[in-house]
Amino acid sequence: MAVFIAALFFAAQGAQASDYGMLAEVVSTSFLPTSIHAGDVITIAAKINNRGTSIPMEGTTVSIDAGSQFEQIDADAEIGTIRQGAQKTAIFTLRAKQDTPVGYYPATIMINYARGESLISQDENILIPVSRTERNIEVKVSPSVINPGNPTQISFTLDNAGDSAISNILFSWQESDNLILPLGSDNRRYVGIIMPGGQETATYTVAADPNITPGIYSLDVSVNFTDSNGTRAQASKVGLIIGGGTDFEVSAQNASGGQLSLSIANIGANNAQSVVVRVPRQAAAGITSEATQILGNLNRGDFTIATVETQQRQVSSSSASGSGNAANRGMGIGGFGRVLQGPQQATGQSGQVQQAIRPDRNSTASELDVQIEYTDTTGQRQSVPKKVQLAAQAFGSISGTDESGQRGQGLPFLPIGLLVMFAAGAAAYNHFRAKKSWIDAGKIIGAII
């Protein structure tokens, strides 16, 4: 056993000895902004690779020295252990000084780590490009979010950030795949002059392809102008978010058995995530407490069904009757709706009546307030209020127990009326037959006499 452990130890020592002496290497760097100007704050991402085959880089720390033309804002990063063959990214933040000329500037990335029991310090060199000594025009776009297929007015604001006036300005923009285009005009605008610190606005009506994939799209912006140094050109990129909110169509599908079914369709141009339907308390529509249903995701053009339970409430028999039961008077509680004949829905305690709140049959329609909440394609939570027309219909029945504990069924007015009419007709007919019999009898007696 001791021989086996010793063999493993010497094998590990041999593997470390045969691996790279310097394990770290910078395999790539990236800069934001991609086009660096004097005075810009720069974010540098350096990807550190462990090129070893058997030894990890432990406790790795990384720092950067960019020289005198850059101010160090955050020049140190701790990235911990990098296993053999793996990579990690160190992030630094610098600022280019205002007087930094155009050119490529060397910077040193210093990497410190533990290689087994040894501490290693390793330097790697990179270049930082500065493309222009100053930015003369800053370009901003508003709004930054547009919906696919919908014509939207956007404005590009041109700010003169320099110390001298600029003139003969030609502004243009383009989306590389032509998925976002200006409507009714070309993509160019002309501006006469912008004084130092001043600004001008170029306005377009644009639309994105209805079938475009929601996301962030880059617009290539070009500005040609004349300043004290002559005719110059400036190119940059502006981001535009395609997506945002959507809209819904809501209609009542069915109302029966104490349930109301709502058909909800996404009729907008964007998908909706985490859709929730809320129906607030509305006594006039039979909803006596807030109802909530989670629908999940609803893509554009899709629809689903939400079911809302209509609640019941208890009221005392004293409020349901004056000199008699409310059902006998032919109206609901407080005259709110009509009494609906049918089997009893529920029996409460003595002196209590359970009543389903329903729209009045005599009314033509009732409005139902519905709130739809969802997450749009930009990650923002949205809320859309809707009103749904409900046709008047019989939803259920009103019944319960009266003061004697018996069910109140209401009076069957139509059968009673028919019975009264039948009785009156029978009495008149009997009266006519009796009178006719007396007349016939008198005629017979007269003949005999």
Average pLDDT over residues 53-58: 91
Cβ pair 396, 358 in contact under 8 A: yes
- Predicted confidence (pLDDT) at residue 435 exceeds the cutoff of 70: no
Q: What does the pLDDT average to over 70-97?
A: 92
Q: Using an 8 Å Cβ cutoff, are 181 and 206 in contact?
A: yes
For the chain, what is the radius of gyration of the CA atoms? 42
What span, in angstroms and rounded, lies between the C-alpha atoms of 202 and 219? 15
pLDDT score of 333 more than 60: no
Contact (Cβ atoms closer than 8 angstroms) between residue 400 and residue 352: yes
Higher pLDDT, 416 or 321: 416
372 within 8 A of 275, measured Cβ to Cβ: yes
- DSSP letter at 101 equals P
Exposure b/e, 236-274, CB count within 10 A at least 16 = b:
bebebebbbbbbbebebeebeeeebebebbbebbbbbee
> For 401-425, what is each residue's pLDDT tens digit?
343 344 444 445 555 666 667 666 6
Q: What CATH architecture does domain 248-400 belong to?
A: Sandwich (2.60)
3-state helix, strand, coil in the chain (%, to 5): 15, 50, 35
383 has pLDDT over 50: yes
- Contact assessment for residue 158 and residue 136, using Cβ atoms and an 8 Å cutoff: no
Instruction: Judge contact between 206 and 185, C-beta under 8 A.
Output: no
- Give ranges for CATH 2.60.40.1940 in the chain: 248-400
Question: Per-residue pLDDT tens for 254-270?
Answer: 666 667 788 999 998 88
Which residues touch 117 (CB under 8 Å, ≥6 apart)? none
Residue with the larger pLDDT of the pair 157 and 425: 157
Q: Which of 193-202, 345-354, 440-449 has the lowest mean pLDDT?
A: 345-354
The CA–CA distances, whole Å, from 118 to 20, 50, 56, 58, 353 equal 13, 16, 12, 10, 87
Is residue 245 scored above 60 in pLDDT? yes
Please give the residue that has the higher pLDDT: either 401 or 162: 162
Please give the Cα distance from 292 to 295 (Å, whole number): 10
Stretch among 96-105, 191-200, 283-292 having the lowest mean pLDDT? 283-292
What residues does CATH 2.60.40.10 cover in the chain? 14-130, 137-242
> Which residue, among 207, 222, 215, 223, has the nearest Cα to 240 in the 3D structure?
215
What superfamily would CATH give domain 137-242? Answer: Immunoglobulins (2.60.40.10)
Q: How many CA atoms lie within 13 A of 168 on its CB side?
A: 9
In the CATH scheme, what is the code of domain 14-130? Answer: 2.60.40.10
- Cα–Cα distance for residue pair 326/308, rounded to 1 Å: 28
Banded pLDDT at 432 (limits 50, 70, 90):
low
CA distance 425 to 437: 19
What is the reported pTM?
0.45
